A and B are shown apart, each in its own frame.
Chain A
Amino acid sequence: MTRYFTKDHEWIAIDGETATVGITDYAQAQLGDITFVELPAEGATLGKGDSVSVVDSVKAASDVYSPVSGTVSAVNAALSDSPELVNSAAETEGWLWQMTLSDASELSALMDEPAYRAFVDTL
């Protein structure tokens, strides 16, 4: 499974036709305690860079942008009862939505994991 990252601190993991999207561990640490996650509707069409989800922390609400274009195939229902999963497992069980990609070539503009970790080190 290949994983890519954005400068806005989303990750996207590619598994065949399906991709899973979340926010990075760095992002959740910056946001602090997460109290609510607003997820896109299943079947929604997403454009690259669209604001499609909102992560609410005690401190602030933050937009989450779609790393690529596509269609929402599933959302993480566990987050409605346990939004804190995004804090405890941002890059695993705290995923936000899954999508099918409409243009896989968009992935080439994203960072791989070493590039993202290096990017975070500059912040």
Chain B
Amino acid sequence: MSDAYNKSDDDAAAIDPRDAADAAPAGPELLPLDAWHRARGARMVPFAGYEMPVQYVVEGGGIIAEHLWTRTHAGLFDVSHMGQLEVSGEGATDALEALMPGDFAALKPGQVRYSLLLDETGGILDDLMVTNAVHHFYLVVNGATKWDDIGHLREHLPDAITLNHLADDALLALQGPEAAVALARLALMPMEHGWPRTDAMKFMQAGPFLWGEVPLRISRSGYTGEDGYEISVPGEHAAALADALCAQPEVKPIGLGARDSLRLEAGLPLYGHDITNETGPVEAGLAFAISKRRRSEGGFPGAETILAALAAGPARKRVGLALEGRMAAREGGTVSCDGHAVGMVTSGGFSPSLERPIAMAFVDAGLSVVGTALEIDVRGRRIAACVVPLPFMPHRYFR
């Protein structure tokens, strides 16, 4: 037998040795928690240029069990492959607004915004989180795109702006309905006077904290649709922090496999799959990332195209599909209606929570209405599918 259809690991993982600069290794790099994962029974796979835990081969491990644990308790994810960047300097707000459609001038200290790095045609180069960290902007970008992002930012940010890649920091995500109670037990102290403690933070709030003497950046955000946090920690302290979190009875380590099934149920796009540089924000259902002021003022890459799509409506849209039966559709599957191709699956898999296959696809806008009956080609078979609302599982953010 062979893994014939799993594209998601491969294309992000490839490091072409021919591209290798002097610093880039030929094989996958090891992240600060590599040994920590292996000691806990993780099966490690190459992903985005790193060895990453896909699941834990232990009692209570496996993608479905890990997924359901996160939906009911709290899961600890290592997402240290993602890029953490600081942007600072006089005019940093304007400089970022020239590259992204967010209203960063209105982003208050301690607030996080989801945004998009756009190219000149309005295509999405990456999706990312931007935090006003008082003295600088703190950006978290996708692992598979971070080197391209850094190159893009270095090329386009004015000389007065400093870009700092926090390459030695790990990033942990603590996600699930019991994340807040588990993290609160660490009694972290906000470093900014008067800022909320972790359990009083709201969704998309962030701040610096002290764990003993270890500085942490924490935001109440995530990629599962659940309440939770993303925690940046200096790499040398990552294992101790992961131990402290997993010592809480609510918390178990969760692999990238469940991270993918959780984000799919939450209807969250995965860069390189659901969104690419050939995808625009409006058709992708990400128009909320184009702030109100920016809609009237423009001034971001591809503004003309994007604002026209906003006004006229896009030709195709990202939709959720629920499939009949148990056979899962995968990325690249053709979506058809009455025998005519009308779109393509961009993410698909089995939903552990709903116990049925689900998928996200781009389809002709006229067929994007909830309830529309479509078909998906799965390995030569036509599987009935129905357009359903996104997200598949309701978001449970702490607002």
Which residues does A use to contact B, with CB under 8 Å? 8-10, 23, 27, 29-33, 35-36, 38, 54-65, 83
Contacts and interface: CB of A to CB of B under 8 A. Distances in A.
B62 A62 contact: no
Interface stretch (B104-112, B119-127, B326-334): B326-334
B382 interface: no
Contacts of A59: 6, 54, 63, 257, 260, 349
Question: Which 7 A-B pairs rank lowest in CB-CB distance, beginning with the nearest?
Answer: A60-B6, A36-B326, A35-B350, A61-B5, A58-B63, A33-B64, A64-B1
B160 interface: no
A54 B3 contact: no
Nearest to B4: A63
B257 A32 contact: yes
Contact of B350 (A8, A36, A38): A36
Interface of B: 1-6, 43, 54-55, 57, 62-65, 67, 257, 260-261, 325-328, 330, 349-350, 352, 357, 379
Given A27-B1, A58-B349, A59-B260, 13 more contacts: A29-B57, A31-B3, A32-B63, A33-B64, A33-B352, A35-B326, A36-B327, A55-B1, A57-B63, A59-B257, A59-B349, A60-B5, A62-B4
B1 A63 contact: yes
B4 A58 contact: no
A61 B333 CA distance: 13
A29 B54 CA distance: 12
A62 B379 CA distance: 11
Nearest to B6: A60
A62 B2 contact: yes
A62 B3 CA distance: 5
Contact of B328 (A29, A31, A35): A35
A54 B379 contact: yes
A32 B3 contact: no
Contacts of B257: 32, 58-59
Contacts of A29: 57
Of B6, B43, B325, B352, most buried by chain A (CB within 10 Å of CB) is B6
B1 A65 contact: yes
A27 B3 CA distance: 10
Nearest to B256: A59
A9 B1 CA distance: 6
B58 to A, nearest CB: 12
B350 to A, nearest CB: 4
Contact of B3 (A33, A36, A38, A60): A60
Contacts of B1: 8-10, 23, 27, 55, 62-65
Nearest to A96: B1
Contacts of B325: 36
Contacts of A56: 326-328, 350
Contacts of B328: 35-36, 56, 61
B105 to A, nearest CB: 42
B372 to A, nearest CB: 24
Contacts of B5: 60-62
Given A32-B63, A36-B326, A58 B2 contact: no
Contacts of A36: 325-328, 350, 357
13 contacts: A8-B1, A32-B62, A36-B327, A36-B357, A56-B350, A58-B261, A58-B350, A59-B63, A61-B5, A62-B1, A62-B4, A63-B1, A83-B326
Nearest to B5: A61
Nearest to B62: A33
A30 B2 CA distance: 10
A36 B1 CA distance: 15
A73 B5 CA distance: 28
Contacts of B261: 58
Contacts of B350: 35-36, 56-58
Contact of A58 (B43, B352, B379): B352
B64 A58 contact: yes
Given A23-B1, A29-B57, A61 B330 contact: yes
A9 B327 CA distance: 22
